[in-house]
Structure 1
Amino acid sequence: MTVNFAPKYPASVTATAAMLMLSCCAALAGEPATIASGDQDGLRWTLGGFGTLGVARSNGDQADFTANYLSPGAVGYARQWSATVDSRAGVQAGLRLNGDWSVVVQLVSERTLRNGYAPAVEWAYVQYRATPDLSLRAGRITLPLFLAGDYRKAGYALPWVRPPVELYGAIPLSSSDGADLSYRWQSGAANHMTQFFYGRTDIPAAPDARARAHGLTGVSHTATAGALTLRASVLRADLSVDIARPLFDGLRQFDRQGDALADQYELDPKQAYVATLGFNYDPGRWFAMGEIARMNAHSYMGDKTAAYLSAGYRYRDLTPYLIYAVSRPNVPNRVAGLDLAGQPAQRRAAGAQLNGGLNQLLAAIARQNTASAGVRWDLHAGYALKLQYDRILPQPGSTGTFINVQPGFLAGQPVSLFSAAVDFVF
């Protein structure tokens, strides 16, 4: 079984397609990807990998651009050039025990909050195929939220250097510990896959804080008819992040109004909801795709809507493309906070600092536009060179998707980002 990416990478997005993509990486390079054990049960294993070597340059010196808050390779304020934004490597091993049972383990090495580039387990699951159309997985599995959610870290399968950060950066989780049930079915000329999933995750959200999502429950549906792929997903979870605990502890010192603000904005825990809808039309010579999502965490992380549109044209081994992405909060980026009238001078000063800290959190709910242009060159089987320019414009009142924001940061001023990356599979 082989998967062919060059020069036309896959348009349909399903969990099974993603598993095949990474399980058969060796086949992509033209080498056998499976070795039979020779026993009567047909024991078979696969081994392959993928990676990205990238570099980015930003002209913004008052904040850092990052593609993923959980893998904070950054460029801008910290350094003008950086190889940590997009660079990663992954390896995957699969073992098919028989026609019904299989095991998959995937390790990914990328910049993390605590351990540098130490490899981490991205996937580790057992799959049982009850029928040709019904399968169950248990362990650490893909979180099927977006069109590229099943292979968002395998850059070779993407037309761009990275997925749009307004959407994919808002939900940086790519896997969860739990189980899913997938069922394939047909209606007329359309092929469908409906996926139910349940799990939890507990990961570092800062060097000294963690993010926990319990009761993570959702459904994802993918429909493919000819060149058109549609995907819709809904997720809910009990989410807690203990990043700003001193701020909310301080607010609670201001009696009822402080308690009310802390109850409204603290994430300890709150029910979070995500709904996504995406399309990909890919007849071969060109493609057009787009996604929209609404995310509400009922906290300082806010309620926001993010979307993008992208199109590209394939000419021989070259694929020039365009992207336009937006993020808009459905809540204010600034609130009045504590009413400090009549408070003693010392409490007024402390309250003013707390109000400033709360509004700093709310300013991070991205209100931002990004226009991007790039080109992909499939220079060799299993290798692609990509160049991309992004014009990122955080709107007034918001720090956008930037991190390490400095006092001199000016919202409403565009930031230019240039990226180059070589994606490969083996």
Structure 2
Amino acid sequence: MPLHATSRFRLLALGLGLVAACHAPAGRAGESAGDEFSIRGFGTLGMARSTNGEAQFTRDLSQPHGAGTSWSPRIDSSLGVQANWLASPSIELVGQALSKYHADGSFAPQLSLGFAKWSPDARTQIRAGRIGADFLMFADSRSIGYSYLPVRPPVEYFGQLFFSAMDGADISLSFPLESQVLQAKLFAGRLHEQAPSALGMWDTSGSKIAGIILSTQMDALQLRGSVTNLRFSHNHDLAGFDQTLRQIGTAYGYDTAITAANALGTKGTNSTYYSAGFVYDDGPLLLQAMFNYIRHQTNLFQNSTAAYFLAGYRVHSLTPYLGYSQVHSNRRYSSSGLPDTAAFAAVNEAYESVIASSTLQQHTFTTGLRWDLQRNLALKLQWDAVRGKPRSRFLVSHPSASWNGKTDVFSVTLDFLF
């Protein structure tokens, strides 16, 4: 992590602590102020390397560069601090700052969470502000490495979900039954994050997001399903290709080319996310299985199906684990709208390249070991065998023409809470 980013983060963390401490209530008789205010931190020190230098392995689409054949700390390392203030028995204020590898290539600290939570009764919870985008199971805790078993959430499943929070509100309703608890959550808001790509920057700022989450807890088993709709407010940066296609269509009288160029736009289009999963955590045994389907209106992105399975078994402080994840996309029929002649060969080839850029055809076998050295401190060692098609390039960074879709990734992380 660059020194200047670390220093800025420390100043921000100190500032959060001082501001919250100054505004914390004095406390009732016999009760310290610490009962209402708390500040905690979390982080990951990580190193990873890939065996294939023809592409860089990334954690998700937000990362402009990934791990190559040399050990790199950037894809998994992070540092965060969270302040909680219980302003009253029913109102809590939460702020979280996070330093991690961002789309602009920096580790500059950012406000990752900042919301007010109102709990008028034991069954109702309302939050407003910057809240976690948790419509995929565990998505809101992806930055807290200590909270999950492997080094990182499966890339095939979570890699496309580069946005981690939204500015908006949600309401959760719980319904306790005899042997289980049912919960429904409704949420709506706007996104604010960006992701780099081979085509250009993908800006989601101002995009509307809304959905519903249904879950149930039955002893050691948790089930969860969700439907989320995302409406983009900006077009994806295509480095001027869409405009060039429109100009050629206009100049040569091919309205089909203009239609094809418009179909590459993302502004005003919807993407819908369907997900379902379960977690079984009982004694030494941990099992997780999740599935999602993503459907896009724009022709720029291919619809995809992803799933993963993870199993771990605790033996004292050691937890070995095995996992499998996969993602598969389907391209809909589309063309540039120009005839297949020598005069338009370069444009047609460029169109095919743009369409192919979101192809996903890969799976990963994962094996690893988590060692809980002490309370709030865990060391993890992991090997990922990534096996994909050469055309599967969406989840890697800077692939060359020689990329064959296959690599082995070795990772070591130290996750901590403080």
Q: Fold-level match, TM-score > 0.5?
A: yes
SS at match of 1:354: helix
Structure 1 contact 42–97 (Cα < 8 Å) conserved: no
SS at match of 1:272: strand
Q: Which one-letter code corresponds to 1:390 in the other structure? A: D
SS at match of 1:97: strand
Q: Which of residues 175, 179, 183 in structure 2 aligns to 1:193? A: 183
CA offset at residue 129 of structure 1? 1.3
Partner of 2:71: 81
CA offset at residue 359 of structure 1? 3.6
Is residue 355 of structure 1 aligned with residue 351 of structure 2?
yes
Deviates more, 1:380-389 or 1:66-75: 66-75
Structure 2 contact 359–391 (Cα < 8 Å) conserved: no
Partner of 1:31: none
- Normalized against structure 1, the TM-score is what? 0.84
Partner of 1:56: 48
The one-character-per-residue Cα deviations of 1:90-149 (angstroms, maximum 9, x if unpaired) are 100011111111110001100112261110111000111111211211100011212212
Partner of 1:303: 303
Is residue 423 of structure 1 aligned with residue 411 of structure 2?
no
Partner of 1:173: 163
Q: Which of residues 37, 41, 52 in structure 1 aligns to 2:26? A: 37
Q: Which one-letter code corresponds to 1:410 in the other structure? A: N
CA offset at residue 205 of structure 1? 2.3
The one-character-per-residue Cα deviations of 1:140-163 (angstroms, maximum 9, x if unpaired) are 001121221231110101000000
SS at match of 1:122: strand
Structure 2 contact 39–81 (Cα < 8 Å) conserved: yes
CA offset at residue 351 of structure 1? 1.7
Structure 1 contact 279–290 (Cα < 8 Å) conserved: yes
SS at match of 1:80: coil
SS at match of 1:352: helix
Partner of 1:288: 287
Partner of 2:385: 391
Structure 2 contact 54–400 (Cα < 8 Å) conserved: yes
Partner of 1:4: none
Partner of 1:328: 328
Distance 1:72 1:231, change over 3 A: farther
Partner of 1:16: none
The residue correspondences of 1:9-408 to structure 2 (distance < 5 A) are 37-39=26-28, 44-76=36-68, 80-114=70-104, 116-206=106-196, 210-212=203-205, 214-239=207-232, 240-244=234-238, 246-253=240-247, 254=249, 255-299=254-298, 300-331=300-331, 336-341=335-340, 345=343, 348-361=344-357, 364-399=358-393, 401-408=395-402
**How far apart in 1 are the matches of 2:317 and 2:136?**
27
**How far apart in 2 are the matches of 1:42 and 1:266?**
56
Figure out how many residues of one structure are paired with residues of the other and give that number. Answer: 382
**How far apart in 2 are the matches of 1:232 and 1:373?**
27
Structure 2 contact 295–304 (Cα < 8 Å) conserved: yes
**How far apart in 2 are the matches of 1:312 and 1:342?**
56
Overall identity of the aligned pairs, in %: 28
CA offset at residue 342 of structure 1? 5.5
SS at match of 2:140: coil
Partner of 1:30: none
SS at match of 1:146: coil
CA offset at residue 269 of structure 1? 2.8
CA offset at residue 380 of structure 1? 1.0
Distance 1:131 1:42, change over 3 A: farther
CA offset at residue 72 of structure 1? 3.8
CA offset at residue 331 of structure 1? 2.4
Distance 1:331 1:188, change over 3 A: farther
Partner of 1:11: none
- Normalized against structure 2, the TM-score is what? 0.86
Distance 1:97 1:303, change over 3 A: same
**How far apart in 2 are the matches of 1:263 and 1:379?**
55
What residue ranges of structure 2 are gaps of 5+ in the alignment?
1-23
Q: Which one-letter code corresponds to 1:198 in the other structure? A: A
Deviates more, 1:79-88 or 1:415-424: 79-88
SS at match of 1:81: coil
